[in-house]
Amino acid sequence: MNWYALLVVVVALERVAELVVSRRNLAWSRARGGVEFGARHYPAMVVLHTGLLAGCVLEVLLLHRPFVPALGWTMFALVLASQALRWWCIATLGRQWNTRVVVVPDAARVAAGPYRYVPHPNYVAVVVEGFALPLVHSAWITAVLFSVLNAALLRVRLAVENDALARLR
């Protein structure tokens, strides 16, 4: 369990790093007239993602979930792959990347990197990590609960983001 708790802490620290980048990019976007869309669902997203991290540790601790090597190592590889994809998205979007949906007037829509292949690759990373991180240590309730709630949130988020992206040239 100790190594798994450390893994969850590392993922939490990665989230903090994302928020630092996001705040910097949000300031950059707002300075250029950036307009935010869908701000109402953002707090739910923060709660859901915080709940994922807490649920991973609590379920393993309270329900004594075992580490099953065949499952655990496979899911760990998927966690690493999702992190790599997430940071590829961040690097590709540069200053346009944000945890919020912000459109800078006259900005060009990015169609490079993973965006050449998938319209919303960051959400692929989120979905994969959302089931893989809990399943590293057999926290299947957290994996299912996050996945269901995240699907509902993504339905809203994708509609907002697609509407906002339609405003880019």
The helix/strand/coil state of 40 is helix
Residue 131 contacts residue 149 (beta carbons within 8 Å): no
Classify domain 2-165 at the CATH class level.
Answer: mainly alpha
> Which pLDDT score, from 0 to 100, does residue 168 have?
77
Residue 1 pLDDT greater than 70, yes or no: no
107: left (phi over 0), alpha (psi -120 to 50) or beta: beta
**Can you tell me the mean pLDDT for 111-118?**
96
Over range 4-14, report the average pLDDT: 98
Tell me how far apart the alpha carbons of residues 32 and 109 are, in angstroms, rounded to a whole number: 16
- Predicted confidence at residue 69, as pLDDT, reads 98
CA-wise closest residue to 150 among 11, 8, 78, 47: 47
Q: Give the tens place of pLDDT for each residue, 129-139.
A: 999 999 999 99
Give pLDDT, residue 167. Answer: 82
Each residue's pLDDT tens digit, 56-103: 999 999 999 999 999 999 999 999 999 999 999 999 999 999 999 999
Mean pLDDT across 100-126: 94
What pLDDT, on the 0 to 100 scale, is given for residue 169? 65
Torsion over CA: 71, 76, 79, 81 (sign): negative
Looking at residue 166, what is its pLDDT? 87
